[in-house]
Amino acid sequence: MLQAGMTDVPEISDEWYRHVVEFADANPPPVQWFMGHFTEASIILLGLLWLLAAWRRLGGGPRDRALVLVTPVLVVLAYGGSEGLKVLADQDRPCRLLTDLAIVADHCPPTGDWSFPSNHSTIAGALAAATLLLHRRLGWYAVPLAALAAFSRVYVGVHYPHDVVAGVLLGAVVVTAFTPLLTIPVADVDPGEG
């Protein structure tokens, strides 16, 4: 079912995108309104969960403080990696290519704001992983919230499913892989050590 100009989009992702967007279009307006706002608010909620987890670690030892310092830096680096991949992939948004489908989003992002990977999903995955590393119990709230944040990007019509899966994985992998590498040297220079 790929249209011209969509050869870089996996067929399964195109099909799932269509199913989700058609499902979203059939939902009642209050559900659409909620999902349209949730897609942005979810990042704020994930940030608040991270802040709560970080606050609980601040009174700990050097490793705890190092985790609090390192994880937000890695969230930003994951976002930067996502932006870099967007430039390399330059995959157009589905809402620009599949104009026969109505989307919940107010508008489709402009040309040049590429689809793959999803920045929102990258940030969501990174924040969920960071929260999980800081506070396991709070992390278990952050993980499904990140999944819903990613799904909401498809629901509102601005990303393909593979965009959001790649974004969540990118964010989670960057934070999970680099946190141990950076925490040790940061903990070693902790000024709290007497």
Tell me if 114 sits within 8 A of 8, measured CB to CB. no
**Would you tell me how many other CB atoms lie within 10 Å of the CB of residue 191?**
7
Scored b (16 or more CB within 10 A) or e, 19-37 reads ebbeebeeeeeeebeebbe
Q: Are 52 and 185 in contact (CB under 8 A)?
A: no
Residues 89-98 pLDDT 10s: 888 888 888 8
- Can you give the pLDDT at residue 14? 84
**169 has pLDDT over 50:** yes
Question: Directed axis angle between helix 161-188 and helix 11-26, to 10°?
Answer: 100
Residue 117 has a pLDDT of: 92
